[in-house]
Amino acid sequence: MDKIRLSKVLFIACLVLCATPWVGTAMALIMGVFFSLLLGNPWLQKSAHFSKILLQLSVVGLGFGLGLGDVIRTGKDSIVYTIVGIACTLILGYLLGKLFKTDKNTSALISFGTAICGGSAIAAMAPVLKAKNDEIAVALSTVFTLNSVALLLFPLIGHLLQLDQGIFGTWAGLAIHDTSSVVGAASAYGAQALTIGTTVKLTRAIWIAPVVIGMAFFKKSEQKAKIPLFIIGFVLAATIRTLLPQYGHYWGELAAIAKQCLVVTLFLVGAGLSREVLRNVGVRPLLHGITLWLSVSCLTLVTLVFFGVA
């Protein structure tokens, strides 16, 4: 059996294993990263495409595990932190871009991805800035690399500081870039953290649309932004659970399936961290991204610990 065929067989075997309860989110991510770096992902583009679809479906499925009241309450409680956090992150990102002399568009994309929703935010903002492919690739690579670190690091810090699940979930939702890493870190910490982290993250992601529209107006661009459909699906799922509580058992089953699908998703996310992605991350963008992310994470955590969640 040649190397390519062997890697395909092992890749499928890992996917099947991640679909079982024996593998958790952190382990799935580590498996994906090591698989990609050691054997190479045989379906790099396809797995990246399907990971996005599976993530969106999983997030919608998680909505069946929540009541609409919980979604509204959590979103309302975190709204001030979300607005202030986005504004401060964008300002700090701009200043750090000047400090590290990062390319203007790359700096803006990294800052926007850190402030709101990682790769989704970068993809939405790139046309407005008329960013080149290499600028988009560097920004995505930087954010993606830090996402992988956050998924493993945040639960360790949370346990070390003995954070309660409410604070941890809010912190993860506000300070981690992509939805996949938020739900991965939060689910590893606990069920309540997952509920809060996912809702806070999706509340944050809604801001993609108004910020992109604002930037388009400033840049005099015709680019339009829309609220991601999976956020609408998440709210609809929570609404269905609330309106039809008699089918609670089935909604719980759907939510459980969604959680396991997230494990598979994180394997695919980890398998996307290829050698090429690592090579795309230059020193200046990486320093910019790390400094911004650490600053936002630390300031958010200190604020939550001292002032708590409303």
- State which residues of the chain have pLDDT below 70: 1, 25-26, 75, 77-78, 133-134, 219-228, 277-278, 280-281, 308-310
Q: Residue 295: what pLDDT?
A: 93
Instruction: Name the residue type at position 1.
Output: M
User: Going by C-beta distance under 8 Å and a sequence separation of 6 or more, which residues neighbour residue 44?
Assistant: 36, 271, 272, 274
Q: Report pTM.
A: 0.72
Buried b or exposed e, range 168-185, using 16+ CB within 10 angstroms: bbbbbbbbbbbbbbbbbb
Q: What angle do CA 84, 89, 90 make, to 5 degrees?
A: 105
Q: Residue 144: what pLDDT?
A: 79
Q: Residue 264: what pLDDT?
A: 86
**What does each C-alpha distance from 309 to 164, 179, 190, 227, 275 come to in angstroms?**
11, 20, 17, 25, 40
Alpha carbon distance 205, 203 (integer Å)? 5
Alpha carbon distance 168, 189 (integer Å)? 8
Domain residue spans in the chain? 3-307
What distance, in Å, lies between the first and last C-alpha atoms of the chain?
59
Q: Residue 278: what pLDDT?
A: 66
